Amino acid sequence: MVEINSTRLLDDLAALRRIGGQGTGVVREAFTATDLEGRRWLARRFAEAGLRPVWDPIGNLFGLPPTGRPMVLIGSHSDTQPEGGWLDGSYGVVCGLEIARAAQEAGLQGIAVVSFADEEGSFEPLLGSRVWSGELPFSAIQDRTDRRGRRLRDVLAGMPELRAAEQVPPQLFKAYIEAHIEQGPVLDDAGEAIGVVETIVGMQHVEVAIMGDQNHAGTTPMDRRQDAVMGFVAFAHAVDEGFRSEAGPSTVWTFGRVTVSPNATSIVPGRTDATLQIRDPDQARLNRLTARAERIAENISANGSIEIRTQVTAKLPPAPLNVALVSTLTSAAERLVPGRWRRMVSGALHDAVPVSRIMPSAMLFVPSIAGKSHCFEEDTRLSDLVQGCAVLAAAVEQVLVGHLPWNVV
């Protein structure tokens, strides 16, 4: 029976929090000094736990146990947003470390741990897991720069660890399981301890350009205007109404960026640019919603003096997780926190998305207090952190000793 050591788990989380810590938050952007310091600390902790630290060419850090058998990989990332919280990513990596130690103490081998590089997208969102899974060729992004103006390949060339980088074949692993904070309010609202993720949503990203006619705000009569802000208002209003009638329980849509030109008090706006981001676990519904937004834009353009152009610039398909792993996690949750868990959808993207395309994968959520994340206030009750790790450990033990039908996806 694998029994995690809650003090060791929380001590390691606190130690990692101090690296780049600022007040209650953490600043460890990918490939900065604090990020590398954090991951070098992880490498030492891996070694102390009997796991061999291995850096791969894109800068992912693995902790590999001395075993030839197929392994279970547990982890996440340890970089943060420019103003990040202490648990986003780090929780999953430290859970992996603790479960590897606890499993060894219980005489079980076969647990590997990973800290994927640059999940938060300093160079590219999910950089390490997308390159490792083969979805994103290194050649396509080697010249990408971060907001400091650094080039990815120069950054990698500057890491002494990568001189001895090794490829880590995904075939070594029979499953990937990632623990993460929910980053939303659902579990906290419901007073539940565990979310077992069934699907990670797909996302479509629509760039919207509203083309009006820039003019004097005093001398242009209302019926002669082609006002690009009022064109945006009409579009967003119609999209919101239309989407509400078609939405599923997990559908979300967001006009997150709105830029007006020339953006002056006394000028009728000539152009508005906006982004419409749509997320849903159901690919067919995603397609229907995007088509509906396009139709609304066409109707407004056809009826009025405003022209609205739409362009779908990203289409990420939903990532359904492995049915057998999901069921192992739900059994463990019901055993340890009966009635205080749920099956749910992840509205955020995670390293599990690209990894799920190449091996059976699963995710487990613990509550985020008030749903806050990507900010210094991000937090989770310590008892929930311990319970999440315990449920994950119980599920992993089943995977290691059991005979799960891996081809059932």
Which chain residues interact with its own copies by CB under 8 A?
182-186, 189, 201, 203, 205, 215-222, 224, 227, 229-230, 232-234, 236-237, 240, 244, 247, 250-260, 263-269, 272, 275, 277, 279, 346-349, 371, 373-374
Of the pair 156, 230, the CB lying nearest its own copies is at: 230
DSSP string, 24-58: TEE---TTSHHHHHHHHHHHHHHHHTTPEEEE-TT
Tokens 């994968």 sit on residue: 361
Of the pair 98, 182, the CB lying nearest its own copies is at: 182
Pairing mode, strands 341-346 and 194-200: parallel
Of the pair 299, 327, the CB lying nearest its own copies is at: 299
Of the pair 102, 186, the CB lying nearest its own copies is at: 186
Other Cβ atoms less than 10 A from the Cβ of 44: the count is 10
Tokens 């010249």 sit on residue: 143
**CB 220 → its own copies: shortest distance, Å?**
6
Cβ pair 154, 31 in contact under 8 A: no
Of the pair 251, 380, the CB lying nearest its own copies is at: 251
Of the pair 244, 381, the CB lying nearest its own copies is at: 244
**CA-derived radius of gyration, the chain:** 23
**CB 137 → its own copies: shortest distance, Å?**
24
The Cα 348–Cα 350 span in angstroms is 7
The Cα 222–Cα 41 span in angstroms is 64
**CB 258 → its own copies: shortest distance, Å?**
5
Of the pair 48, 240, the CB lying nearest its own copies is at: 240
The Cα 319–Cα 283 span in angstroms is 10
**CB 183 → its own copies: shortest distance, Å?**
5
Nearest residue to 228 (alpha-carbon basis) of 296, 310, 311, 308: 308
Q: Which three-class secondary structure string do you get for 227-255? A: CHHHHHHHHHHHHHHHHHHHCCCCCEEEE
**CB 208 → its own copies: shortest distance, Å?**
12
Of the pair 54, 210, the CB lying nearest its own copies is at: 210
Of the pair 15, 314, the CB lying nearest its own copies is at: 314
**CB 60 → its own copies: shortest distance, Å?**
23
The Cα 130–Cα 126 span in angstroms is 6
Sign of CA dihedral 88, 90, 93, 97: negative
**CB 320 → its own copies: shortest distance, Å?**
17
Other Cβ atoms less than 10 A from the Cβ of 113: the count is 30
3-state DSSP call for residue 205? strand
Of the pair 236, 325, the CB lying nearest its own copies is at: 236
DSSP string, 294-313: HHHHHHHHHHSS-EEEEEEE
Cα of 239 vs its chain's centroid, Å: 26
The Cα 202–Cα 185 span in angstroms is 20
**CB 268 → its own copies: shortest distance, Å?**
6
**CB 376 → its own copies: shortest distance, Å?**
13
Peptide bond into 262 cis (omega under 30): yes
**CB 31 → its own copies: shortest distance, Å?**
21
CA distances from 218 to 139, 215, 229, 268 (A): 54, 9, 16, 9
